[in-house]
Chain A
């Protein structure tokens, strides 16, 4: 078990049928991600990067091929077990924040714990801790509408953290944010990465991909390139940027 990579895709193909036409979203993809990596997946829209993300996050299952998560074959697991796996091992940062409206930050963050049957007192405590980790202590009772875009994304990241995941999957985590806020979010993800969590980011911005230690480019359902890189330090970049006007 110790030597198992966190992700191992072998010959993964995903085919959608829309009427008579078959769409090959992923074609024979092989991919291995080791524990503790920070991977950026790039590609134009329609390249299959979102499908790859969904397969990695066990939100979707491959049509063909094998997906071993921490050595366990999950490509053929029934729906219920996939839910349980997502709940226990994955943290998701969805595109567009995806917070529940008119619900306090701490309740949003603690949502996965509700489904994990964590008692209410512990839920609140862990929700607060997660909010502190993303720098939002004191905003527990704010609703999404009362928070800025960057703060909402931090709440979303805190929610991804709260169940102590082994893998965080972030889909366009900086998509709706200005440059400085984007770098702030990447600095946060980098700091989480340093604590040992494996992180996979989908982005179409090369600047954002530069903060990862490995960059994949996907096109037409295949992995076009796969390079290790020395990541930019988001915290250092942030120090060199002008403060945002209050």
Chain B
């Protein structure tokens, strides 16, 4: 160790004599490491946002949509084919062991009026299970109960946006709002869920009992259900629940084997996984780009070290001639390269973190950086010094002192 202890200051001395060049040499690694930290942090930050947004949808969620029709080769969207019915909902509720809740969901866009205030919003008709499925809790008041739900009571629960728009600071609980022509008592206000991943305001809604909705908003039709929400008993059971729901609906719709489903069961976990995979792929690609810039940084170090070795040929000749061992000369130049790359790594980590914090606040996502990446970045920059510094250092150590001393 004493050998290393006396060689390391030599390396620092050589770097100090060439400050500008040392700084420029490190720049490649600085940029590479900063890019690495920045991509990792922004990848983790955007993923955290994505996960948060998906969590607001409710986990374990399945959405059942009616099938599409095919008329003369032209396929319509959901709803153009065989509709779902309240009977389907009841069958799902009874027949699926892997599902905990099932709720109908219909909606329409309606002007909601309070005195001289009004607000255009989406009105949903569902059952109390809706709130459980969406994992949506009440900020004040209560949700409507099963009795109100079944009897078609004129009650409703407001999203925070609607409550704010109509009532401002005053308390909406117990007040009557007019939804289309129906006066409706506000029994609760939901907690805010914020924006969805598509940028929609999830709090801009009114929820009322499904029976009320069907009789008052869509007076013609008391049977058909726009869509059915199902929540599995656990995340692991989502695909099991999906299979069960599919089986029951095929039975309900008396579909023979081999015929395509006349409905669609969408799995939000799959959707989430797909989105996360896409985000991961993007982060992975950016990470590869920063790995390439680290490689370029390493080559820059090798290049400058080779220049430096050539330029200092006579100095190396002096050292070897007075009796420096090859190993010590090799060590000195290797230390120089490692100091350059490690210093570049530290500066790059600092810049990367600063950049990631700035980016996070600009994009409105949290600053997340798993600490292990800092060690990875530092370790990689050290390794770059060793790998790319070795060849120039060996070149220096293997010089012939006589020739080196004569070098002009």
* A interface footprint on B293-324 (CB within 8 Å = 1, 0 otherwise): 00000000000000000000011011111111
Residue of chain A at shortest CB distance from B2:
A117
A145 at the interface (CB under 8 A from B): no
Q: How far is the CA of A215 from the CA of B271 in the complex (A)?
A: 95
List, in ascending order, chain B residues with CB within 8 A of A88's CB: 323
Number of A residues with CB within 8 Å of any CB on chain B:
34
Q: How far is the CA of A80 from the CA of B329 in the complex (A)?
A: 12
Q: How far is the CA of A88 from the CA of B317 in the complex (A)?
A: 17
List, in ascending order, chain B residues with CB within 8 A of A219's CB: none
Q: How far is the CA of A80 from the CA of B325 in the complex (A)?
A: 6
The answer to whether A83 touches B314, judged by C-beta atoms less than 8 angstroms apart, is no
Query: SS class of chain B's interface: helix, strand, loop or mixed?
Result: helix
Partner of A115, one of B9, B315, B325: B325
CB distance from B55 to the nearest CB of A (A): 60
B-binding segment of A39-47, A94-102, A186-194, A199-207: A94-102
Q: How far is the CA of A61 from the CA of B265 in the complex (A)?
A: 86
The answer to whether B3 touches A83, judged by C-beta atoms less than 8 angstroms apart, is no
The answer to whether B402 touches A115, judged by C-beta atoms less than 8 angstroms apart, is no
B13 at the interface (CB under 8 A from A): yes
The answer to whether B328 touches A115, judged by C-beta atoms less than 8 angstroms apart, is yes
The answer to whether B326 touches A79, judged by C-beta atoms less than 8 angstroms apart, is yes
Partner of B405, one of A98, A118, A119: A98
CB distance from A21 to the nearest CB of B (A): 18
The answer to whether A54 touches B323, judged by C-beta atoms less than 8 angstroms apart, is no
Q: A59-B401, A94-B405 are in contact. Are A117 and B3 (CB under 8 A)?
A: yes
The answer to whether B318 touches A83, judged by C-beta atoms less than 8 angstroms apart, is no
Residue of chain B at shortest CB distance from A104:
B13
CB distance from B14 to the nearest CB of A (A): 9
A31 at the interface (CB under 8 A from B): no
CB distance from A196 to the nearest CB of B (A): 21
B6 at the interface (CB under 8 A from A): yes
Interface residues of B in 350-366 (CB under 8 A from A): none
A111 at the interface (CB under 8 A from B): yes
A-B contact pairs, 18 of them (CB 8 A): A59-B321, A60-B402, A80-B326, A83-B326, A85-B323, A94-B321, A98-B317, A99-B318, A101-B17, A102-B17, A111-B318, A115-B322, A115-B324, A115-B328, A117-B3, A117-B6, A118-B6, A159-B322
B10 at the interface (CB under 8 A from A): yes
List, in ascending order, chain A residues with CB within 8 A of B54's CB: none
A114-B10, A163-B323 are known; give 4 further A-B pairs, CB within 8 A. A83-B326, A85-B323, A92-B321, A115-B324
B153 at the interface (CB under 8 A from A): no
Partner of A86, one of B3, B317, B321: B321
* A interface footprint on B366-408 (CB within 8 Å = 1, 0 otherwise): 0000000000000000000000000000000000011001000
Partner of B6, one of A57, A79, A99, A120: A120
The answer to whether A103 touches B13, judged by C-beta atoms less than 8 angstroms apart, is yes
CB distance from B331 to the nearest CB of A (A): 11
CB distance from A92 to the nearest CB of B (A): 6
Q: How far is the CA of A119 from the CA of B328 in the complex (A)?
A: 16
